[in-house]
């Protein structure tokens, strides 16, 4: 946490002595950190986390947003309403600014034919028995299958199932996948742990439960911290394709667009197929171009052969 010292105008940083020593040894600029201690004080954990993530040193400080008054001057007083930032919006702004400024991002796009997946989903959902309320006991979404397919793809391409640190890549045994959930005033990404080992129905139930707790502001840090990759799906809004920003310490994120019928050529003949465009954002420090392309090819293969998800 930093304030401006009235007499000098220099930033006054609130940090523990141990945090200051670790930051100095690691060449880390404390102004680039957001403290998690009492009253925003920077503590040992904040410095160690920043060093692991490769937060910029003094030679490359994070850009600072212009003061609020510098923006207000462009608009007539009374022509707008002010909505103060809550903690969720502040955290989103800080972390995604950090991601854009510190992660060398690149993007890969592919189209997936999902007719087989839609048929399998319809058959699976139709097999659900009715509960005491007369409603089916389960109903899976396309997004549930996307999460499962990404987890399987990461297992089939373990070189991409990694996290970057300044001194090593952490290759994970499980594939923990974040799922972007829209909540009033922001966005959170709860994590499906060991997604490769869970059934589509288990993933579906867990996403619903985590989303409900997210909207009720009842998520715990373990519910949304970590993860190796994530899925952000805007298909339900009619979005064809888009790019998503990686949420550190994750190394990739998959942006999923709407499934729509398109004319394609298959086996030399034009046919109508349901296609879904997906874009993979990659942290080039952990996943280079060829590896990202191989991961996306594995994902496409699983989506187009959805029986693999039930193997």
Torsion of CA 272, 274, 277, 278, to 10 degrees: -140
Instruction: Please tell me the distance from the alpha carbon of residue 307 to that of residue 165, in angstroms, as a whole number.
Output: 36
Segment (H or E) for 146: helix 142-156
Segment (H or E) for 177: strand 177-179
Which of the residues 85, 284, 301, 305 is marked catalytic? Answer: 284
Q: In 153-172, which positions are buried (b, 16+ CB within 10 angstroms) versus exposed (e)?
A: bbbbbeebbbbbeeeeeeeb
User: Which residues, 6+ apart, have CB-to-CB distance to 96 below 8 Å?
Assistant: 245, 247
Query: Distance between alpha carbon 49 and the CA centroid of its chain, in Å?
Result: 18
Segment (H or E) for 20: helix 17-25
Compute CA distances 10 → 6, 7, 24, 149, whole Å: 8, 8, 18, 51
Q: Is 284 a catalytic residue?
A: yes
Contact 200, 124 (CB under 8 A): yes
Query: Distance between alpha carbon 279 and the CA centroid of its chain, in Å?
Result: 13
Give me the active site residues, please.
284
């Amino acid at each position: 946490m930093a304030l401006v010292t009235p007499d000098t105008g220099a930033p006054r940083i609130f940090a523990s002595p141990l945090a200051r020593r670790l930051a100095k040894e690691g060449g880390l600029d404390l102004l680039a950190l957001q403290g998690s201690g009492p009253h925003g004080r920077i503590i040992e954990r904040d410095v160690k986390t920043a060093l692991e993530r490769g937060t910029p040193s003094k030679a490359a400080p994070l850009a600072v947003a212009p003061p609020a008054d510098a923006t207000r001057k462009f608009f007539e007083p009374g022509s707008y309403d002010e909505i103060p930032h809550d903690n969720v919006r502040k955290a989103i702004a800080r972390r995604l600014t950090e991601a854009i400024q510190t992660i060398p991002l690149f993007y890969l796009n592919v189209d997936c034919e999902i007719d087989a997946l839609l048929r399998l989903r319809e058959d699976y959902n139709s097999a659900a028995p009715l509960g005491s309320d007369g409603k089916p006991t389960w109903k899976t979404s396309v997004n549930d299958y996307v999460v499962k397919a990404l987890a399987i793809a990461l297992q089939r391409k373990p070189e991409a199932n990694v996290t970057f640190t300044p001194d090593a890549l952490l290759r994970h045994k499980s594939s923990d996948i974040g799922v972007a959930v829209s909540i009033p005033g922001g966005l959170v990404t709860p994590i499906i742990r060991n997604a490769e080992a869970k059934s589509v129905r288990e993933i579906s139930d867990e996403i619903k439960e985590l989303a409900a707790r997210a909207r009720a502001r009842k998520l715990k840090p373990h519910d949304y911290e970590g993860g190796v990759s994530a899925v952000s799906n805007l298909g339900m809004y009619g979005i064809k394709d888009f790019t998503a920003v990686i949420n550190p310490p994750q190394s990739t994120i998959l942006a999923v667009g709407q499934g729509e019928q398109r004319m394609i050529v298959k086996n030399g003949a034009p046919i109508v197929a349901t296609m879904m465009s997906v874009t993979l954002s990659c942290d080039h420090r952990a996943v280079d171009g060829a590896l990202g392309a191989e991961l996306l090819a594995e994902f496409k293969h699983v989506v187009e052969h959805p029986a693999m998800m039930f193997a």
